[in-house]
Amino acid sequence: MHSQTAKLNFLFIIGTLTTASKATHADNINTAGTTCHILTGAQALDISYSGGAIFNLSAQDRTVECPIPRSPLITSTNPTFFIDGSNAPNTSTNCTVTMASPDLTAFSQQGFTESTPATSTSFRAWHHSVTLPIPASSSQSWHAYVQCTLPGIQPSGTGPKSFINSVTSLQ
């Protein structure tokens, strides 16, 4: 009787471990805006970083690119990304999320615009979600990035109009 109970306990433990090992879980990958960079080297001094965010110090609009780190996904799962930023009143930030193959050929893109109305009295934080389809022929070796055009500084010279705070890859 004792050996039979021990065998049942052993089988229960093995069954539990086997079931647990089939469950997969990965944490979301979140990176600060400081991982972003300017696309044109001659404009490098126009971009600054503070508190994990990237922003434009120029009077002219500047485009920045942020890599979106990720882990391989479960087959047939479309990836979802979040881009977090903030805008001053009467300001818009335009972004495009792109997935590309290792040879940098873009195969999936989605653009969006986040705006803060002129009637707003302060910066408005925004959080934009993008889910992109993966072609059936795509492998897991693709990468993702987001390009955002940050508007020039406020006319009064009081500071930036827009910030990119972070990018997140949901896993």
* Within a domain: 88: yes
pLDDT score of 154 more than 50: yes
pLDDT score of 61 more than 90: yes
Reported pTM:
0.79
* Within a domain: 127: yes
- DSSP H or E stretch at residue 6: helix 2-22
Total domain count, the chain: 1
* Within a domain: 65: yes
* Within a domain: 128: yes
* Within a domain: 20: no
**Neighbouring residues of 54: CB distance < 8 A, sequence distance ≥ 6:** 33, 34, 36, 47, 48, 64, 66, 150, 163, 164
Q: DSSP class of residue 94?
A: E
* Within a domain: 14: no
Tens-place pLDDT, residues 104-131:
888 889 999 999 999 999 999 999 999 9
Residue span of the structural domain in which 154 resides: 27-169
* Within a domain: 156: yes
Tens-place pLDDT, residues 37-47:
998 889 999 99
* Within a domain: 15: no
CATH of the domain at 97: 2.60.120
Q: Which amino acid is at 58?
A: S
